[in-house]
Amino acid sequence: MNYDMLLLRFGEFTLKGKNRNRFEKTVLTHVRSVLSSYPAAQIQKEYGRLYVALNGENASQLIEELKKIFGIISISPVVVCPSQLDKIVETSTSFLENLDLQKETTFKVTARRVWKAFPHPSQEMNHLVGSPLLKKFTMLKVSMKDPELQLRVEIREQGTYIYCEVIPAVGGFPRGSNGKGMLLLSGGIDSPVAGFTSMRRGLEVECVHFYSYPFTSLKAKEKVMELAKVLSGYAGEVKLHLVPFTEIQTSFTGLGQDNLIITLMRRSMLRIATMLAEREGALAIVTGDSLGQVASQTLSSMNVIGRTTDLPILRPLIMMDKSEIIDIAKRIGTYELSILPYEDCCTIFVPKSPATNPNLRIVESIEASLANLQTMLEEAVERTETVVLTPESMIEAAEDGIDEEWF
Amino acid sequence: MIYWDHAASTPPYDEVIQTMTEVMKKHYGNPSSIHRMGEDAARLIKRAREVCAASLHVKPPEVILTTGATEGNNMAIKGTAMQYGSRGKHIITTQIEHPSVYDSCLELEKHGYEVTYLPVDSKGMVNPSEVASTVRKDTILVSVMHVNNETGAVQPLAEIGQAVKQANPLTIFHIDGVQGFGKLPVQLEEWKADLYTLSAHKIRGPKGTGVLYKREGITLHPLLSGGKQESGLRAGTENIPGFVAMSKAMRMAAEQTDTFMREVGALKSALLAWIRKTPSLELNSFEEGAPHIVNVSFPGMKAEVLLHTLEEHGMLVSTKSACSSKTAEPSRVLLAMGRSGDAASSAIRISMGMTNTQQDLDRLLAALETAVNRLQPLRQEGMK
């Protein structure tokens, strides 16, 4: 089927009175940036929805890309025909032929006469279009209530829009429309998903990654850059802060408190993330914590760890099961990267039995005994390297002697 | 000398040779080493895999790097048999497959598998409805080649794939794509291919490298035990310069497919037209076949004699497939097409590439004419 247009429906933000304009504008900019590689396509804006006239551009490719735009909840491919009864029936027929119905399907026609000069009112059109279709396609059974197939016919002066498919899109809030947060990005399965779900809610996300070279490899750093690059596909670009963590992490070893290492480490990470948030003007910290998943994610661990920051800690995955998180990771394209087997700072110096119920007072007194902890934290922030990743970024370790001409 | 044996092997692109040399010199680290040189080598493999995958329009993890089509075909057929033997022991292939497929199937028969070898018609084509009626509940694999290496016959893969999956969705569909890639459009999705074999030296890449495409979700039992290379499917240190150079050859061949079809196809049409006008020659290739292979019989004259006569005139052609041309038997492929023993023993294959020109062809036609005229009176019927 050759479609003429795509109909894009906006999500829940349309309910937001005063901010609605700002939200719509953000979506529009996002759609425009996607359309820049489809020069023939044109946008027509309407109340609560957008139309994209294809003018020969590939519909299925474009749908795949537009589906990822935050704030759009669904997309329908549309065929346009002249607003004349016989043309409308003819186009509707070929539309259904194309669906190639194999089993009995409940069905109704919903016509909407936007152009009041059209001779047949909406109700009448439902019959005028529906009855020849029912005669031709024996698989169709009329059902006014919750039909499996709803053929929409919108009659306008410039032409009639016919569509039935409703392709679910990512939904959420327009990108970056709900402020900024710092995401702790480890390299595991959860944190990229936490990043994605936050971005979908309109949060602008900057990633913070801690590395402990030589205990972690350069590959681990590269992997995190790849993950951030995947996330940038949803945001246009993503900032990644790479924090050197070796010194801080090793200062927690040899204290005779190995079971608290993870707790101490997480607290320092939050402190650094908070300092970076302040510098970058972010108002929250996002983590991939999921209640009870590991020792640092028990309620008492989160209590002891979370006290190091005044910023709200957003934990989008907190009540999700691992399998649900994995499903999202696969869908957004981070799973395959996340399972690459490189050590990251969260998997080294892991004690045999990390504390699941750390004692706040002991943790605080250990930290107090480390006289230069604050200096080390500040130094780590200072030595943090920031890179901006886009979907086009080429990620390669410096001077790897690989010549793209070879391929 | 003019080279007319591109179905046997091809002259590597200059760029491929350059890549091979540079990578070989610079990146001798083992991709499994975890130091910097190892990581660089691993990155080269990763990039090569991405480029190969893009040329096939598949995902990088679906690309297994091999030593060539013989390994790819063996891995596809035996690996499927060993992995899915508990599901069934029936395999379907055709009478005209390359020995690396055909003999793999013969080998499996010795291990308790049942193999159906589908016949072909006089043009060397498999009938999709015959595939449909042969697939059974216990059929684990159907293996059909894209382009026949001796005659250039192109199999109706979309119809066959459809027939296989309709008859038994669990049956794995393997395509030996060696002679097709770069010569004709490759549409793995439309063909419903689960496995697809490719060899780099047939597309102007280096020898000793190839690709086996394995659709996500299919498992193969590895034939080589050892390291965990290629996701555990193929142990052995990767051929880094070879794989990088292969990815380049694949990219170039894929990009040049249209040009290949047009330019080489024109040479083929001219050659076919000339042969049709020569009464003592019998064509085994047709206009609708692949653009680069012409197989012709000179009944009553052993193929080797015609081959050597042409060689005297500076024309290098081959008999049968290069892999079986040293055995003196008549071509199994031509016999399967219903050709007489005489025709099947006297066939030469002229296979062309983009390095051949119209002038080359004029010289070939002159040489053919001289050779045929000279050998004509010496023909014997029913020769051995």
Distance CA B156, CA B119 (A): 14
Residue B93 neighbours by CB under 8 Å, 6+ apart:
B101, B102, B105, B115, B116, B117, B118, B142, B143, B144
- What count of residues does chain A have? 407
Please report the pLDDT score of residue B328 as a whole number.
63
Please report the pLDDT score of residue B367 as a whole number.
96
- What count of residues does chain B have? 384
* ipTM, 2 dp: 0.79
Residue B359 confidence class, pLDDT cut points 50, 70, 90: very high
* Residue B131 CA to its chain's centroid (Å): 21
Helix axes B257-276, B358-375, angle to 10 degrees: 30
Beta bridge partners of A105: A140
* CA distances from residue B78 to B74, B89, B197 in whole angstroms, order as listed: 6, 11, 13
Chain A positions in Cβ-Cβ contact with residue B47 (cut-off 8 Å): 402, 407
Least confident span in A334-343, B17-26, B130-139, B170-179? A334-343
- Any idea what DSSP says for residue A176? T
Place of tokens 């002066």: A157
- Mean per-residue pLDDT of chain A: 90
Residue percentage of chain A with pLDDT more than 70: 97
Q: Which two tokens stand for residue B273?
A: 């037209």
What are the pLDDT digits (tens) for A28-45?
988 998 898 899 999 988
Residue percentage of chain B with pLDDT more than 70: 97
Is pLDDT of B382 > 90? no
Please report the pLDDT score of residue B324 as a whole number.
56
| A340 CB within 8 Å of a chain B CB | no
Is pLDDT of B34 > 90? no
Least confident span in A3-7, A135-139, B244-248? A135-139
Return the active site residues of B: 323
Helix axes B358-375, B303-312, angle to 10 degrees: 120
Please report the pLDDT score of residue B222 as a whole number.
94
Residue B129 confidence class, pLDDT cut points 50, 70, 90: very high
Is pLDDT of B247 > 70? yes
Q: Which two tokens stand for residue A60?
A: 């299925």
Please report the pLDDT score of residue B185 as a whole number.
97
Is pLDDT of A52 > 90? yes
Residue of A nearest to B248 (CA): A407
Q: Cβ separation of A401 and B27 shorter than 8 Å?
A: yes
Q: What angle do CA A241, A243, A248 make, to 5 degrees?
A: 160
Q: Mean of the pLDDT values across residues A196-216?
A: 93
Q: Cβ separation of A401 and B19 shorter than 8 Å?
A: no
Chain B positions in Cβ-Cβ contact with residue A213 (cut-off 8 Å): none
Domain B14-255 has CATH 3.40.640.10: yes
φ, ψ for residue B203, nearest 5 deg: -125, 35
Please report the pLDDT score of residue B66 as a whole number.
97
What are the pLDDT digits (tens) for A213-249?
888 888 888 899 999 999 998 888 999 999 999 999 9
Q: Mean of the pLDDT values across residues A182-206?
A: 95
What are the pLDDT digits (tens) for A135-172?
999 888 988 888 999 999 999 998 999 999 899 999 99
Sign of the C-alpha dihedral computed for residues A139, A143, A148 and A151 taken in this order: positive
Is pLDDT of A262 > 60? yes
Distance CA A357, CA A301 (A): 6
Q: Is the pTM of this model over 0.80?
A: no
Residue A101 confidence class, pLDDT cut points 50, 70, 90: confident
**Cross-chain CB nearest to B39 (options A218, A406, A407):** A218
Distance CA A222, CA B166 (A): 44
Write out the E strands in B119-229.
139-145, 172-176, 195-199, 210-214
Counting Cα atoms < 13 Å in the Cβ hemisphere of A11 gives: 22
Is pLDDT of B383 > 60? no
Q: Which two tokens stand for residue B87?
A: 């599901």
Answer yes or no: are the C-beta atoms of A191 and A183 closer than 8 Å.
yes
Nearest to A25 by CA among A200, A172, A174: A174
Is pLDDT of A46 > 90? no
φ, ψ for residue A83, nearest 5 deg: -80, 70
Q: Which two tokens stand for residue B76?
A: 């596809």
| A47 CB within 8 Å of a chain B CB | no
Domain B2-9+257-382 has CATH 3.40.50.300: no
Is pLDDT of B276 > 90? yes
Q: Closest approach of chain B CAs to the CA of A154, in angstroms?
A: 35
Residue of B nearest to A400 (CA): B40
Is pLDDT of B36 > 90? no
Q: Which residues of B touch A (CB under 8 A)?
A: 19, 22-23, 26-27, 34, 36, 39-40, 43-44, 47-48, 51, 61, 244-245, 247-248, 251
Distance CA A72, CA A34 (A): 13
* Residue B172 CA to its chain's centroid (Å): 19
In chain B, where the domains are located: 2-9+257-382, 14-255
Please report the pLDDT score of residue B325 as a whole number.
56
* CA distances from residue A314 to A38, A184, B190 in whole angstroms, order as listed: 37, 11, 45
What are the pLDDT digits (tens) for A305-327?
999 999 999 999 999 999 999 99
φ, ψ for residue A252, nearest 5 deg: -85, -10
Please report the pLDDT score of residue A22 as a whole number.
83
Residue A157, amino acid: E
Distance CA A302, CA A292 (A): 10
Please report the pLDDT score of residue A354 as a whole number.
87
Please report the pLDDT score of residue A181 as a whole number.
97
